[in-house]
Amino acid sequence: MIASHIHDALAQVRKLQRFILEKSNFCGYSGSARIIGGLAALGGAALIASGKIPATPQASLAVWGAVLAVGLVVNYGGLALWFLREPESNRKFASLTPALDAVPPLAAGAVLSLALVLKSQFDFLFGTWMCLYGVAHAAYRRSLPPENYLVGLFYLFCGAACLLLPGINFADPWPMGLVFFAGETAGGIVLYCAKRDGAAGNIEKTKEGEQDDRHEDS
């Protein structure tokens, strides 16, 4: 009798742990969308380096603006689809809190970028973008896998290098293209693995539930 009560208590503890983890994990972002954004950054760098556009900061800025637009569309479009596909019981704006937490550093990045462009300080743009994007990853420290936080540290390190090391300038697109390609690809793989593991966990949870039901019936 005591052993049965202990078993039931442990089962309840396991269910509570799973519930807490599920609530804390944010599933709104798509790994595929992040990888597409990384590929767009690499493609933008290749386009600028090809010489097919004018060799001016304004032309390069237009290309990076297009890369940003692609990233926003695929990432936040995927987020919107995830939100709409959620069951109505879970379709609450509070579930989007982790995504909203990243808005302040991204907004700060937009303001700093505008200030640098207005002052024609284009060489500082890459480092600023990388650092602020890295800071945005901190908003997901508790809602995404810890590996995603490491991706943010990678962006911060690369951003600091672009700001401090000599020879990094806006005319050379490869530092930007390669860093964001590597970072977004790594981030996409992290999200893909997290969702795969989550799906496997749901299957295991179903099996455990069936076992608990059989135990209760016995």
Mean pLDDT, residues 33-44 taken together? 96
Residue 213 belongs to some domain of the structure: no
From residue 103, alpha-carbon distances to 9, 31, 144 in Å are 42, 19, 16
**Which residues span the domain enclosing 143?**
27-197
Residue 137 belongs to some domain of the structure: yes
Mean pLDDT, residues 120-127 taken together? 96
Residue 92 belongs to some domain of the structure: yes
> In the prediction, which pLDDT does 18 show?
45
Mean pLDDT, residues 22-40 taken together? 81
Note the pLDDT tens digit of each residue in 44-77.
999 999 999 999 999 999 999 999 999 999 998 9
Q: Three-state secondary structure along 28-75?
A: CCCHHHHHHHHHHHHHHHHHHHCCCCCCCHHHHHHHHHHHHHHHHHHH
User: CA torsion angle for 193, 196, 197, 202 (degrees, to 10)?
Assistant: 160
Note the pLDDT tens digit of each residue in 4-24.
545 555 455 455 444 334 444
pLDDT band of 96, cuts 50, 70, 90: confident
From residue 151, alpha-carbon distances to 23, 37, 88, 97, 146 in Å are 23, 15, 33, 20, 9
Q: Domain total for the chain? A: 1
Residue 16 belongs to some domain of the structure: no
Mean pLDDT, residues 161-171 taken together? 93
Residue 179 belongs to some domain of the structure: yes
Residue 8 belongs to some domain of the structure: no
> In the prediction, which pLDDT does 20 show?
38
Judged by DSSP in three states, 178 sits in helix
Matching residue, tokens 């579930």: 95
The whole model's pTM is what?
0.78
29 vs 63, higher pLDDT: 63
Mean pLDDT, residues 111-125 taken together? 96
100 vs 147, higher pLDDT: 147
Give yes or no for a contact between 191 and 148, defined as CB atoms under 8 angstroms apart: yes
State the number of CA atoms in the 13 A half-sphere of 3 facing the CB: 1
Query: What are 2's two structure tokens?
Result: 């005591």
